[in-house]
Amino acid sequence: ALSWAKEVLIVDSESTDGTIELARSAHPNVRVVQRPFDSFAEQCNFGLAQIGTEWALSLDADYVLTPELVAEIEHLDPPPDVAGYSAEFRYCIFGQALRSTVYPARTVLYRRRLATYQNEGHGHRVIVDGKTERLRGKIEHDDRKSFSFWLQSQDRYATIEARHLLSTPVSQLSFQDQLRRKIFFAPPAMFLYLLFGRALILDGWRGWFYVCQRTITELLVSIRLLIEKKNLEPQKTGA
């Protein structure tokens, strides 16, 4: 899918499941580098340091570029004052895109020397020093992980997210994260918002699948928030 790119750099966290061999055999333009995982931001910054081109397109393994977006990128003529481009996402359930998602737009294409990654909650984000514009084409987020793997990942992310929410001043949190701090308010709000506000009820079982996934995610964050709050309370000692 990325055969048009000058080079595809894959940062591998010393996997042992055949990922490296599969990646190297995919196309001659693929280069694999390895680094023990410590955080998403550090992995990305390490990857940026390995790139020799002026521009970098940052993609997760489950991102799929639509043909429209590929054509748009190939014909881009960035003005000197533009440092990066963001793209919106279409979320896919078993290969079929939903009509809507809460997955935010991300800066994915940028001038390498003007970009740096920072950890944020359970994830990371890129900080680009300069003006960014929005691409018209979209990226499909097609996650095919098993449900058990997804659930374990979400619980791990929920723990990190809960600690981030509790350690960040409320004034610095987004409106959505402020709602999340109100334990058990976010799960029903997310359920109703996606099902009716975003009309995912019209996407059939795939819409319900995504709504339930997102609700479970918010439930896990609420549970982890409660656990973290209890852990921060002074421990009672016996007389």
* pLDDT at position 25: 80
Task: Find out whether 94 and 17 touch, Cβ atoms under 8 Å.
Answer: no
* pLDDT at position 239: 46
Backbone angles phi, psi at 151, to 5 degrees: -65, -40
Return mean pLDDT, the chain.
Answer: 90
pLDDT (tens digit per residue) in 134-173: 999 999 999 888 899 999 999 999 999 999 999 999 888 8
**DSSP string of 62-97, one letter each residue:** TEEE-HHHHHHHHT----TTEEEEEEEEEEEETTEE
* pLDDT at position 236: 56
* pLDDT at position 92: 95
Region class of 118: left (phi > 0), else alpha (psi between -120 and 50), else beta: beta
> What are the structure tokens assigned to 129, written together?
């020093």
| pTM as predicted | 0.82
The answer on pLDDT for 235 being more than 80 is no
What percent of the chain has pLDDT above 90? 64
* pLDDT at position 139: 95
DSSP bridge partners of 134? 86
Angle at 18 between CA 217 and CA 29, to 5 degrees: 100
Residue 140 CB neighbour total at 10 angstroms: 17
* pLDDT at position 238: 52
180 vs 219: CA distance, rounded Å: 10
All structural domains of the chain: 8-142 (3.90.550.10), 147-232 (no CATH)
215 vs 213: CA distance, rounded Å: 5
208 vs 196: CA distance, rounded Å: 11
Can you tell me the mean pLDDT for 104-125?
Answer: 90
**DSSP string of 182-194, one letter each residue:** STTTHHHHHHHII
The answer on pLDDT for 29 being more than 90 is no
> How many Cα atoms within 13 Å fall on the side-chain side of residue 222?
17
